[in-house]
Amino acid sequence: MCNGTECIGYLALPDGDGPAPGILVSPAFMGLSDTERAACDRLAAQGYVALGVDYYSGGTLAKDREEAASLMAEMQNNRPLLAERMQGALAELAAQPRTKGQKLGAMGYCFGGKSVLDLARIGAEFAAGVSLHGVYDAPPSGSQRMHPALLILHGWDDPLCPPDATVALAAEMTEHCDDWQILSFGATGHAFTNPKAAPGNGFGYSEKAAKRSWRALSDFFEDELRS
């Protein structure tokens, strides 16, 4: 529950019963799907407690891109609610028995990348955040000091975040975040981790970028959550 609203996440646990760092996995604009659940399982295999986020609430999964665009527009127009849902998910992750006293991280795809940035922007206490082909515009309320280290994994040809938007994000992080990095993949567009994303018009799956981005985020979380 998040302020009285039911949000239905997905929890993946690593083997054993000992303490483990935790990572939120925030979905792309369709909602929490098998793709993000698979990412949670993959993180659990690496030894993390992983919680897939239901920021739409009620376990909503869009039936098509048109419905997803409508759902996303509602959240885009209510950025405080998006941040509130993310903060509720972070609190749930922190309350898991195996994450007590452990560091927490968050990662997100597409609109989920924006949600991770917004979680950092409200001053939430977590150790590491990753955006994968995210969207970078800051909310009207602006940003507070960002506590987590941030890794931005970006397709340079992404039409949703052209170079000026990426530079603006870098300026925002320079002002508010002490530890950030941007890794940009050339000849790569939006949704580069999604095997179902057809190429064209600045969108499309890239096997190389998908592998490189996972390797980069794995090393990043290892450094930030286990040290």
Separation of alpha carbons 119 and 11, rounded Å: 20
Where is 109: in which H helix or E strand? strand 104-109
Using DSSP's 3-state secondary structure scheme, residue 68 falls into helix
The pLDDT, as a whole number, for residue 227 is 84
pLDDT by position in tens, the chain (length 227): 677 889 999 999 999 999 999 999 999 999 999 999 999 999 999 999 999 999 999 999 999 999 999 999 999 999 999 999 999 999 999 999 999 999 999 999 999 999 999 999 999 999 999 999 999 999 999 999 999 999 999 999 999 999 999 999 999 999 999 999 999 999 999 999 999 998 999 999 999 999 999 999 999 999 999 98
Torsional sign, CA 180, 75, 13, 147:
positive
Q: Cα(first)–Cα(last) distance of the chain, in Å?
A: 32
The pLDDT, as a whole number, for residue 198 is 86
Separation of alpha carbons 201 and 9, rounded Å: 32
User: At the topology level of CATH, where does 19-226 sit?
Assistant: Rossmann fold (3.40.50)
In a 10 Å sphere around its CB, with 0-12 CB exposed, 13-18 middle and 19+ buried, how is residue 205 labelled? middle
Instruction: Say if CB 136 and CB 106 are below 8 A apart.
Output: no
Q: Is the pTM of this model over 0.95?
A: yes
The secondary structure of the chain in percent helix, strand, coil, rounded to multiples of 5, reads 40, 20, 40
The pLDDT, as a whole number, for residue 3 is 78
The pLDDT, as a whole number, for residue 1 is 62
Torsional sign, CA 154, 186, 172, 142:
negative
- Residue 138 has φ and ψ, to the nearest 5°, of -75, 155
Beta strands 49-52 and 149-155, pairing class = unpaired
Using DSSP's 3-state secondary structure scheme, residue 152 falls into strand
Would you list the DSSP string of 157-183?
Answer: T-TTS-HHHHHHHHHHHHHHBSSEEEE
